Amino acid sequence: MSEMTGRGTGSPSPAGTSPPPAMPDEGPQVSRTLDESRTQIEAAIEQRLRQRSRRNRRIYLLIRIVSLIIVLAAWQYYGSRSTPVIFDPLTRVLGALADLFRNHGLASALWYSVWTFAIGYTVGVAAGVALGMCLGAYRRAEAAVGLYVYALYATPMVAIVPLLSIWLGFGVLTQELIIALFVLFPCVVSVSYGVRNIDGDLLEVARSLRMGRASLWRHVLLPGTVPYIATGAAQGVAMGLVGMFIAEIFTQLSGLGNLLETAAQTYHTDQALAVLLVIMALGVILRGLITLVQRKVAPWAK
């Protein structure tokens, strides 16, 4: 019986022999090695992407510089061979620009126009974002006032300027209101479209988390519409500058509009082109400021 039990349970080890050593557990070491390799690969990929991004920025900057040089050279070439009343070369326009600053009050006119534009633009963007969010988020609001908003958006603002001058007079307030109207409607259309195109999965998650209305607006709707707000604000810069000149010419001759109208009426083409250069530079600067603010406020928005 004892022998059978010994066979069934295994015989004891012979004297003088030791059991085989246990193999070390290599699982944690392999996992650490894989994590380090993954981290190195991700760092290498990120570095290559940064290098590619810097290279692309340099290429785009070089393209802009070359295109600017070509345009300015063509301007100088064509202007030097044209009649001064029709067109002027770049050198003469730059001289007229300096003369406008020294003798014709271009600095004060620029300050007046920028200040008026800033007030009207701020009012137009704020009202456009608020109205666009309401029209996009609430179907009843869109049904109530959407028809009138889109009808006014399709109406040329130049046709409304004489009526505003009759109703409100020819003062600074009328100019600011005209600028605000030019800025308002692009913002309304862009923002309302952005609200309607927010990802439905985000809204579903917000509902499943039982977010309140204030939290939904703060965490879902506003962040989701930042790219559309930036687009509307960028369009508003161009439209606002158009509205600024229309207001300054149609209401009362003031600011840059006064200088441009005076130069055109007296056939000083070089001064008119100089004022146009200031306008274009102002538009580029304002567009760049909007892009910078967008990158700081919402870096995820492309």
End-to-end Cα, the chain, rounded Å: 84
**Confidence band for 65, pLDDT divided at 50, 70 and 90:** very high
Looking at the fold, whether 162 and 287 belong to one and the same domain comes out as yes
Q: What pLDDT shows up at residue 19?
A: 54
Looking at the fold, whether 105 and 130 belong to one and the same domain comes out as yes
* Domain edge (last residue) among 80, 114, 144: 80
Of the ranges 23-27, 153-157, 220-224, the best mean pLDDT one: 153-157
Q: What is the CATH number for 129?
A: 1.10.3720.10
Q: What pLDDT shows up at residue 128?
A: 92
* Domain edge (last residue) among 36, 54, 80: 80
Residue 14 within a domain: no
Segment 107-164, tens digit of pLDDT:
898 999 999 999 999 999 999 999 998 888 888 888 888 888 888 888 888 888 888 8
Looking at the fold, whether 50 and 121 belong to one and the same domain comes out as no
Residue with tokens 């050279």: 73
Q: What pLDDT shows up at residue 105?
A: 84
Q: What pLDDT shows up at residue 10?
A: 46
Given a contact cutoff of 8 angstroms between Cβ atoms, the answer to whether 116 and 244 are in contact is: yes
If one compares 20 and 155, the residue with the highest pLDDT of the two is 155
Residue 12 within a domain: no
Percentage of residues of the chain with pLDDT beyond 90: 15
Residue 230 within a domain: yes
CA neighbor of 127 nearest in space, from 197, 198, 179: 179
Looking at the fold, whether 48 and 148 belong to one and the same domain comes out as no
Please compute the mean of the pLDDT values over residues 3-29 and round it to a whole number. 50
CB proximity list for 302: less than 8 A, separation 6 or greater: 227
Domain coverage including residue 59: 26-80
Q: Does the pLDDT at position 199 exceed 80?
A: no
Looking at the fold, whether 170 and 142 belong to one and the same domain comes out as yes
CB proximity list for 87: less than 8 A, separation 6 or greater: 78, 79, 269, 273
Residue 8 within a domain: no
> What HEC string does the chain produce?
CHHHHHHHHCCCCCCCCCCCCCCCCCHHHHHHHHHHHHHHHHHHHHHHHHHHHHHHHHHHHHHHHHHHHHHHHHHHHHHHCCCCCCCCCHHHHHHHHHHHHHHCCHHHHHHHHHHHHHHHHHHHHHHHHHHHHHHHHCHHHHHHHHHHHHHHHHCCHHHCHHHHHHHHCCCHHHHHHHHHHHHHHHHHHHHHHHHHCCCHHHHHHHHHCCCCHHHHHHHHHHHHCHHHHHHHHHHHHHHHHHHHHHHHHHCCCCHHHHHHHHHHHCCCHHHHHHHHHHHHHHHHHHHHHHHHHHHHHCCCCC
Looking at the fold, whether 142 and 221 belong to one and the same domain comes out as yes
Segment 38-62, tens digit of pLDDT:
777 877 888 888 888 788 888 988 9
Looking at the fold, whether 219 and 74 belong to one and the same domain comes out as no
Q: What pLDDT shows up at residue 57?
A: 84
Q: What pLDDT shows up at residue 8?
A: 44
Domain count, the chain: 2
Q: What pLDDT shows up at residue 177?
A: 92
Residue 31 within a domain: yes
If one compares 69 and 83, the residue with the highest pLDDT of the two is 69
Question: Average pLDDT of the chain?
Answer: 81
Q: What pLDDT shows up at residue 125?
A: 93
* Domain edge (last residue) among 39, 55, 80: 80
Residue 302 within a domain: no
Q: What pLDDT shows up at residue 267?
A: 86
Q: What pLDDT shows up at residue 30?
A: 62
Q: What pLDDT shows up at residue 88?
A: 87
Looking at the fold, whether 103 and 196 belong to one and the same domain comes out as yes
Residue 248 within a domain: yes
Q: Does the pLDDT at position 200 exceed 70?
A: no
Report the alpha-carbon distance of residue 298 to residue 296 in Å, rounded. Answer: 6
Residue 219 within a domain: yes
Looking at the fold, whether 72 and 169 belong to one and the same domain comes out as no
Q: Does the pLDDT at position 76 exceed 60?
A: yes
* Sign of the CA dihedral running 148, 287, 228, 119: negative
**Confidence band for 7, pLDDT divided at 50, 70 and 90:** very low
pTM here is: 0.75
Looking at the fold, whether 104 and 238 belong to one and the same domain comes out as yes
Looking at the fold, whether 96 and 74 belong to one and the same domain comes out as no
**Confidence band for 13, pLDDT divided at 50, 70 and 90:** very low
Q: What pLDDT shows up at residue 18?
A: 53
C-alpha dist (Å) from residue 179 to 33, 237, 266? 63, 10, 27
**Confidence band for 299, pLDDT divided at 50, 70 and 90:** low
Q: Does the pLDDT at position 11 exceed 50?
A: no
Looking at the fold, whether 123 and 43 belong to one and the same domain comes out as no
Out of 21-25, 74-78, 101-105, 130-134, least confident range: 21-25
Report the alpha-carbon distance of residue 275 to residue 260 in Å, rounded. Answer: 6
> Any idea what the Cα angle at residue 64 is, between residues 59 and 65, rounded to 5°?
95
Q: What pLDDT shows up at residue 230?
A: 85
